[in-house]
């Protein structure tokens, strides 16, 4: 065949983070070779993740290739992804887990510039990757699965996180729309919405930031905030990054072949 070949490659964007790295490992366990990517400023932790994957005998024997690009630079995203596809093959699975939480404060005190940055990374960045990879996959005209990381903050809203909540609601809508656009090519698009996931950087940041705000919703004591958050979950515990990763691995593979345009909530029962 001419043009980029289609192999069993999975692209994970945002792979240097807690969720991204767990997702990369889960996909490798499922037999995927990996293209793991993150922002250039995250090159060192990304290489650490890649090295750990290569050394993890339980994670499979597939290749692990790293790439760095800024998701908010649409031209850089497109050029980089096309070069990766030409060299390694068109990915059969794509996961976009890059994102930022932004500051924690009530909306009446939220700086518009801070909100714009959150929306730029979480919405425009996700859109840029999805548009570029959608174009590559549609040209290859082969089945594939794309998973976008949203959040329960985008489903039900989260106090003191208006920009983040808005950005993740947009990601859910983006997945649903793109699923319709790409369905004629056999390309599925879904999103996932985790609730409280820990341990990890995002959990620690959220606990500390909510405590610092001092709102009616949470204590000013981080330890008590942690207990309050756990108390909101019927299963009375956080989800783990590996539990999120297992859902993504299922969506990426053939066992979910009739699932598209859906937002899967991973919440321990909280709504």
164 is catalytic: yes
Nearest residue to 130 (alpha-carbon basis) of 166, 101, 172, 102: 172
Judge whether 41 lies within some domain. yes
Per-residue model confidence as pLDDT tens digits over 3-62: 444 458 999 999 999 999 999 999 999 999 999 999 999 999 999 999 999 998 777 778
Q: What's the confidence (pLDDT) of residue 3?
A: 41
Radius of gyration of the chain (CA): 18
Same domain, 85 and 218: no
Same domain, 115 and 228: no
Rounded CA gap, 127 and 154, in Å?
A: 16
Judge whether 38 lies within some domain. yes
Same domain, 30 and 99: yes
For 257, other C-beta atoms within 10 Å of its C-beta total 11
Instruction: Summarize the confidence of residues 98-106 as an average pLDDT.
Output: 95
Q: What's the confidence (pLDDT) of residue 6?
A: 47
Same domain, 45 and 93: yes
Instruction: Summarize the confidence of residues 224-245 as an average pLDDT.
Output: 95
Judge whether 268 lies within some domain. no
Same domain, 131 and 173: yes
Same domain, 191 and 203: no
Q: What's the confidence (pLDDT) of residue 7?
A: 54
Q: What's the confidence (pLDDT) of residue 201?
A: 85
Rounded CA gap, 167 and 117, in Å?
A: 10
Same domain, 155 and 207: no
Judge whether 269 lies within some domain. no
Q: What's the confidence (pLDDT) of residue 124?
A: 98
For 39, other C-beta atoms within 10 Å of its C-beta total 18
Judge whether 87 lies within some domain. yes
Instruction: Summarize the confidence of residues 252-256 as an average pLDDT.
Output: 96
Per-residue model confidence as pLDDT tens digits over 185-202: 999 999 999 999 988 888
Same domain, 130 and 15: yes
Rounded to the nearest integer, the mean pLDDT of the chain is 94
Per-residue model confidence as pLDDT tens digits over 55-71: 987 777 789 999 999 99
- Residue 249 is part of a domain; what is its CATH number? 3.40.50.720
Q: What's the confidence (pLDDT) of residue 214?
A: 86
For 247, other C-beta atoms within 10 Å of its C-beta total 20
CA 156 to chain centre: 18
Instruction: Summarize the confidence of residues 200-222 as an average pLDDT.
Output: 92
The number of domains in the chain is: 2
Is residue 237 predicted with pLDDT exceeding 60? yes
Helix and strand element counts for the chain (H, E): 10, 7
Same domain, 161 and 119: yes
Q: At 72, phi and psi to the nearest 5?
A: -85, -5
Q: Which pair of tokens denotes residue 127?
A: 């859109």
Judge whether 126 lies within some domain. yes
pLDDT: is 5 or 218 the higher one? 218
Edge-to-edge strand ranges of the sheet holding 93-96: 64-68, 33-38, 9-13, 93-96, 144-149, 187-194, 263-266
Per-residue model confidence as pLDDT tens digits over 123-163: 999 999 999 999 999 999 889 999 999 999 999 999 999 99
Same domain, 135 and 205: no
Judge whether 96 lies within some domain. yes
Judge whether 131 lies within some domain. yes
- Note the pTM of the prediction, 2 decimals: 0.94
Strands 33-38 and 64-68: parallel
Domain extent, residue 125, equals 9-195+242-260
Percent of the chain with pLDDT over 90: 90
Same domain, 161 and 226: no
Same domain, 171 and 215: no
Rounded CA gap, 209 and 152, in Å?
A: 18
Is residue 81 predicted with pLDDT exceeding 60? yes
Q: Which pair of tokens denotes residue 27?
A: 């996909």
């Amino acid at each position: 065949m001419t043009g980029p070949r289609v192999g069993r490659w999975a692209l994970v964007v945002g792979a240097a983070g807690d969720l991204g790295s767990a997702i990369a490992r889960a996909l490798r366990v499922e037999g995927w070779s990996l293209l793991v990517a993150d922002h250039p400023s995250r090159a060192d932790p990304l290489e650490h993740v890649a090295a750990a994957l290569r050394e993890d005998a339980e994670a499979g024997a597939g290749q692990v290739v790293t790439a760095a690009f800024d998701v908010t630079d649409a031209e850089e995203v497109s050029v980089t992804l096309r070069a990766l596809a030409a060299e390694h093959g068109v990915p059969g699975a794509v996961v976009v887990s890059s994102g930022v939480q932004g500051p924690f404060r009530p909306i009446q005190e939220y700086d518009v510039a801070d909100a714009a940055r959150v929306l730029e990374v979480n919405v425009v960045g996700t859109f840029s990757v999805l548009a570029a990879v959608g174009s590559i996959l549609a040209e290859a005209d082969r089945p594939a699965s794309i998973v976008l990381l949203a959040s329960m903050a985008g489903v039900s809203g989260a106090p003191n996180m208006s920009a983040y909540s808005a950005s993740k609601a947009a990601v859910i809508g983006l997945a649903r729309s793109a699923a319709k656009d790409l369905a004629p090519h056999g390309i599925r698009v879904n999103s996932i919405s985790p609730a409280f996931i820990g341990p990890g950087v995002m959990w620690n940041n959220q606990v500390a930031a909510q405590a610092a705000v001092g709102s009616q919703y949470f204590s000013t004591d981080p330890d008590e905030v942690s207990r309050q958050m756990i108390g909101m979950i019927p299963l009375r515990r956080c989800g783990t990054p590996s539990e999120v990763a297992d859902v993504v691995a299922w969506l990426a593979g053939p066992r979910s072949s009739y699932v598209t345009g859906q937002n899967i909530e991973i919440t321990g029962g909280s709504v």
